[in-house]
Amino acid sequence: MPDSAAPSGPAPAPSGAQRRRSPLGHSGEEIFGAVVDPRVLRRFVAFLAPYRWIIVASVVAVLAFTLTQIAVPLIIRYVIDTALPAGAAAGSREAERLLGFAVGGFFAVVAVNFISNYCQQVWVATTAERVLLDLRRAMYSHLQRVSLSFMDRTQVGQLMSRLQGDVGSLQEFLESSIFAVGDLVLLAGIIVVLLALDLELGLLTLSVVPILVLVRAIWLPAAKRAFIRARETSSIVNSALAENINGVRTVQEMTREDFNFAAFREKAAENYRAHVKATRLAQVMVPTVDTLTGAAMAIVIVVGGNRVLDGSIAIGIVVAFLFYVQRFFDPIRSLTMQYSVMQQAMASGQRIFEVLDVPVDVRDKPGAPDLARLAPAIDSTVEFRNVTFGYVPGLPILKNVSFRVDPGETVALVGPTGSGKTSTMALLHRFYDVWEGQVLIGGVDVRDVTQDSLGRRIAMVLQEPFLFTGSVYENIRYCAQGAGREQVERAARAVGAHDFIARLPRGYDTVLGQRGVNLSIGQRQLLSFARAIVADAGILVLDEATASVDSFTERAIQSALEKTLAGRTGLIIAHRLATVRNADRIIVLQDGRIVEQGTHEALLARGGLYHRLHAMNVASFDDVPAEVSAVAADQRT
Amino acid sequence: MNSPPAPSPAATASAAGPAARSAIHGTDTLVPSLDGDYQRGVSALWRVLRMALRYRVRFPAAVLAVIAAGVFQLLIPRFLGQAIDQAAGLLSGAQAAGGTAVAAAQAALVTSALLVLGIAVMRGLFTLAHNYLAESIGQSFGYELRLAFFEKLQRLSFSYHDRIHSGDLITRGMLDIEGVRRFIETGIMRLFQLAVLVGLGAWLYMGQDPVLGLLCLSFVPFAVWRGTVFRLRVRALWREFQERMSVLTRIMEENLAGIRVVRAFSAQQHELDKFDEWQRRTLEPAVESVRVRYLNTSMMTCAYFVAMALVLWYGGLRVIHGDITVGELTQFLVFMTVLQMPVRQVGLVINGFARASVSGARMFEILDIEPAIRDRPGAASLAIGNAELTFDNVSFSYAGFPGERAVEGISFTVRAGQTLGIVGPPGSGKSTIAHLIPRFYDVTGGRVAIDGQDIRDVTLDSLRAQVGVVQQDTFLFKTEVRENVAYGDPTAEDDRVVDAADTAQLHDYVAGLPEGYDTLVGERGVSLSGGQRQRLSIARSVLLTPRIVVFDDSTAAIDAGTELRIRDALKELNRTRATIIISHRLSSLMHADEILFLEAGRIVERGSHAALLAQGGRYRRLFDLQMGAARENALA
């Protein structure tokens, strides 16, 4: 993006590097740093409030489901210890009756299991899905209102990763925390049941648990490092691949293929090594858990068997123990996993709330009226009255600027980079509020009316013609939903875009590629003109394109400009000489002050900054060498 | 020089059907031409499998480990059941028999316990082995595919990259390689595991008691059926979700990137409506797939427990009637717990196969392309002498637009020390000419020669080493300024980099940066203005000192004064090389020895600046238009 594309902080900007620094924290994967942050948790809970009843219901379902899981070995135990031995005592009839009773109970448990299982999972997952949507919408609608300077300093990719990745990890966290409740209950339930069935055998069997916890505690940090490393190398490989794909033409031009291949191979090999190492570490846990399970089973067999031998417990208890031992390690495993999910969620939560906390500076006054009610569209006089404004306190960009543009008049703003041209436009649209003075439209202070009505009064043609994915028709109409086909076509004709649109494969219905790649810059600029005409506003603001347009397109744009401005209040931020000459009046800005104004001829005759710029025959005012403006500044003092 | 256009082969080819056309146009064509996705998927799967088999040690070892782990897994219920019988069976007999029998029973229990422990350890070790081996094969596989993919992309010609969206290639390089890689682990190995557990389990346990064995396995067909149905349904939903999500992503991205347009038109509400609409649409398939998925898992769990209840009931009856022991019943019940996990993963296996076939097909589609532009067999190096570049009645059409000639009947010669200027309206074919010289595209008619050698007869590397094209759009790599300038020659010493930057009038700017030549540029670093980028691009080409250099509108964003300084700095270099300048700005090329005025791909005027002015044609009109400003200046 050219330097002047945005009111990018204090001018002259100290250096690109500083200017570009993102206002959001660096969104690296700082998983280690993140611990449970109560503030994040509290705010997250606020997003859950609308769903509290379904969450309560989910927890109930999770508990019911967990209880059915605990119940199954108990039923088996009942069959073995009560139903089957009844055969010897009371005859096989009675045994069969008891067995039938037990199996009936089993079926009842299965029914509860089925219903609770389905409900818990569906409720939890859909709630998590909805919370994700709410979070994303909150961020998105907030971004529609935060100050433009924030948006300028923030990369789209960074915001997108918060709108997608981070909400995703909070969703996952919500889902897994409800299931974690189930895991905890399962674990506690198993422990209670084991101890209740037989205290001694229970304690002995549970003795393997601390070992597992200890092993995992030692293992986890190392494994996590390996996992993170593996993920990092993957993203290094992928971004190298992506860069090479995007820059493939340059690569081939410079015949860098072999060199790049060697460099890529090294990255891919590193990725390979990191993944294999991570696998090795992950797999170490498998025989560990298996060994501990085996040990627990061995304890049950030896100790339990002996207790059966001396008649102190029944055989069914041993069988139940064997079943529980097999289930035992699952909740421990998922609970330790839950810990890293939570850490990730905390980091994501911080990033999300960081976005939501970006202040909204410009708001409608309570009960602010429509601009149209106070000033009719024909009276679209623009007036700046002693305006002082800046982005950083103490560093004003505009200093006591006053000027007036009447309906039907076109005024060009000229000046070197950082002189305050773009800021002037931003104030007119009330993207920011002035520090001192007033911006008036038709005699009404822009702060006294709704931003919406203000927006309808002003149409802007931006420096970078931005097109949305969609048809040519949709792009020209944009948000003027009322505009019909005819109106769109009339606008296109007025700016001289109709001919090339008609030649497109499907005319106005041709779908533009990514950002309009299938059109030339000049053509995109013409569409953006047409869009401003359809908006049919009393004031037209034009931020002229810096990317130098060829002489052929320039002619088309010039005539489009004249037609668009007819009868409107026109303000042009001029970057190129050609445009300026056609303006009714030229205002020359420097260091936030108006240094000269008048017609082209008058200013040339005056021999000031404008004359110097003109004499240089610079292609655009943005590339003005520093010495010229310095000399001009000297002259003024 | 202007010979009458010879009957071009392309003209006859355009009538001969797409196959002939693509052969003549030399577009990158797919080698295998299979019908239908299904067939392509199956053949891709076979190819992946064959590639997996090339790991002659690791692959069979992994399969053996899977089988061994399965066998040990199946032995555990056996010995647990045996231990129960030892405890229960001896309960009645041992007490009567007295001390020695109790001691014997205790010894038997210890033996069983040790066996169970040993088997559990073995199962763990073999599971580790097969997981590790499978993953390591998968990773080797991914590594190889990744390199092959990368190398292929670098060699594919411009015409291919013109047609395919870069995002598509990136997706293939990330997700599809992943899909193929995971096939070994989630597809093949799990299939073996399942086969061993169900097959061997059925044989073992049904041999022992056919009815009970059957009951144990009764939930398996149900699970397989549900797993399959479910995968198909969820895949469709997933695709639906992905499509809607990508629309939503695009809406958000465009909103954020075009936030100034949104604000300028006060279109926030319009944008929020769009957003809400598509959020809602993504929710539908997401919720639906949640329902389908969990209905399915609940049903599978339910079927499993029903089977277990039946085993308990029927087995209980058998115990009551004394046909089997409690230990045997336990054995069957534990066997069921062994089956539970793997059978649930049937869906995963099916998914692994499906994904590998789709991803494999997409991968191979790229890997099998033969680059249209490549060295002819036995191509020699370009022998450079006077650097005389000749276009001999050249015509060219872009692939996909066979009827439209981008350029036609272009002939000119330019040699070391000379400059050729090219001017013309947008779309007149100027850049096309630039791209034909380093063979980014091959001509479709006529020929391009350097010092008498047709450029299609020499090696690409030797050709491109002698031809430099400075583009209008400069691609910056995310690295330091130094590396970006030295992109074509990574080994260049610092002073050469500085010299090149100095020639391109970039040095002063770079020297003023906080970290000089070590400053990062691109996404995370300093952003350069259009003019600075173009100067960087010029510096890149200066460093390489090619003998033929083309400036493709590469000074458009540089102001006239700086351009003049660059031109002065290049003067020395230009004596030994042929220069082509493409520009809209006549002041950039009016000093050229010859100027071509292009329109719609044809040369409509040609000659020196003076001759063209005298001619009073299009060039003259353009000159008047551009000089208007300058003249006015002079008057003032």
DSSP letters of A516-569?
Answer: GTTS-HHHHHHHHHHHHHHHT-SEEEEE---SPPPHHHHHHHHHHHHHHHTTSE
The answer to whether the Cβ–Cβ distance between B118 and A293 falls below 8 Å is no
Is A303 touching B (CB cutoff 8 A)?
no
pLDDT over 60 at B105, yes or no: yes
Size of interface A-B (CB pairs under 8 A): 437
- Strand order of the sheet with strand A458-461? A458-461, A539-543, A569-573, A410-414, A585-590, A593-598
Distance CA A181, CA A192 (A): 16
Q: Which residues of B touch A164 (CB under 8 A)?
A: 249
The answer to whether the Cβ–Cβ distance between A297 and B80 falls below 8 Å is yes
Distance CA A337, CA B446 (A): 67
Min Cα–Cα distance to chain A from B377, Å: 19
B591 contacts B571 by C-beta, under 8 angstroms: no
3-state secondary structure B386-443: CCCEEEEEEEECCCCCCCCCCEEEEEEEECCCCEEEEECCCCCCHHHHHHHCCCCCCC
The answer to whether the Cβ–Cβ distance between A623 and B106 falls below 8 Å is no
Residue burial B556-589, b: 16+ Cβ < 10 Å; e: rest: bbbbbbbbeebeebbeeeeeebbbbbbbbbbbbb
Binding-face residues of A in 71-130 toward B, CB within 8 A? 72, 75-76, 79-80, 83-84, 87, 92, 95-96, 99-100, 102-103, 106-107, 109-110, 113-114, 117-118, 121-122, 125-126, 129-130
Distance CA B622, CA A552 (A): 9
Q: Which residues of A touch B490 (CB under 8 A)?
A: 256, 259
Among B199, B301, B281, residue whose Cα is nearest residue B240: B281
Give me B608's structure tokens: 């020196």
Q: Enumerate residues 6+ apart whose C-beta is below 8 A from B476.
A: B484, B521, B522, B528, B533, B536
Is this prediction's ipTM beyond 0.85? no
The answer to whether the Cβ–Cβ distance between A113 and B305 falls below 8 Å is yes
Q: Which residues of A touch B69 (CB under 8 A)?
A: none
Q: Enumerate residues 6+ apart whose C-beta is below 8 A from A343.
A: A31, A32, A34, A35
Tell me the pLDDT tens digit for each residue of A23-76.
565 444 343 344 567 888 888 889 999 999 999 999 999 999 999 999 999 999
Distance CA A605, CA B41 (A): 76
Predicted local distance difference test score (pLDDT) of residue A365 = 84
State the virtual CA torsion across A496, A501, A502, A506 in degrees, nearest 10: -170
Residue of chain A with shortest Cα separation from B319: A84
Name the band, by pLDDT with cuts 50, 70 and 90, for residue B623: confident
- CA distances (Å), origin B583, targets B149, B425, B443, B587: 37, 10, 22, 9
Q: How large a percentage of chain B has pLDDT more than 70?
A: 89
Tell me the pLDDT tens digit for each residue of B359-398.
888 889 889 988 888 899 989 999 999 999 999 999 998 8
Domain boundaries, chain B: 37-209+324-367, 389-635
Name the band, by pLDDT with cuts 50, 70 and 90, for residue B15: very low
CA B194 to centroid of chain Cα atoms: 33
Predicted local distance difference test score (pLDDT) of residue B436 = 94
Predicted local distance difference test score (pLDDT) of residue A328 = 81
Q: Same CATH fold, B389-635 and B37-209+324-367?
A: no
Among A395, A417, A19, residue whose Cα is nearest residue B514: A19
Q: What is the CATH number of domain B37-209+324-367?
A: 1.20.1560.10
Residue B219: what are its φ and ψ, rounded to 5°?
-80, -10
pLDDT over 60 at B21, yes or no: no
Tell me the pLDDT tens digit for each residue of A67-107.
999 999 999 999 998 888 887 777 788 888 999 999 999 99
Give me B627's structure tokens: 């000089």
> Between β-strands A382-392 and A436-441, what pairing exists: parallel, antiparallel or unpaired?
antiparallel
Q: How large a percentage of chain A has pLDDT more than 70?
A: 87
Q: Which residues of B touch A291 (CB under 8 A)?
A: 117, 120-121, 124
Number of neighbouring beta carbons within 10 Å of residue B7: 8
Tell me the pLDDT tens digit for each residue of A146-203.
887 788 777 777 788 888 888 888 888 888 888 888 888 999 999 999 999 999 999 9
Instruction: Report the residue of A76, A119, A121, A302 to disrupt the B interface, i.e. the one with the largest count of B CBs within 10 Å.
Output: A302
The answer to whether the Cβ–Cβ distance between B155 and A308 falls below 8 Å is no
Binding-face residues of A in 341-380 toward B, CB within 8 A? none
Indicate whether this model's pTM tops 0.80.
no
Predicted local distance difference test score (pLDDT) of residue B11 = 34
pLDDT over 50 at B9, yes or no: no
Number of neighbouring beta carbons within 10 Å of residue B3: 10
The whole-number average pLDDT for the span B528-557 is 87
CB-facing half-sphere around the CA of A410: CA atoms within 13 A: 21
Predicted local distance difference test score (pLDDT) of residue B536 = 92
Tell me the pLDDT tens digit for each residue of B432-453.
999 999 999 999 999 999 999 9
A562 contacts A529 by C-beta, under 8 angstroms: no
Phi-psi region of A311 (alpha: psi -120 to 50; beta: other; left: phi over 0): left
SS3 B530: helix
The answer to whether the Cβ–Cβ distance between A242 and B170 falls below 8 Å is yes
State the virtual CA torsion across B193, B198, B199, B205 in degrees, nearest 10: 130
CA B347 to centroid of chain Cα atoms: 27
Number of neighbouring beta carbons within 10 Å of residue A330: 15
Instruction: Report the residue of A106, A121, A167, A255 to disrupt the B interface, i.e. the one with the largest count of B CBs within 10 Å.
Output: A255
The CATH class of the B389-635 domain is alpha beta
Please name the member of A159, A287, A297 whose beta carbon is closest to the beta carbon of B256: A159
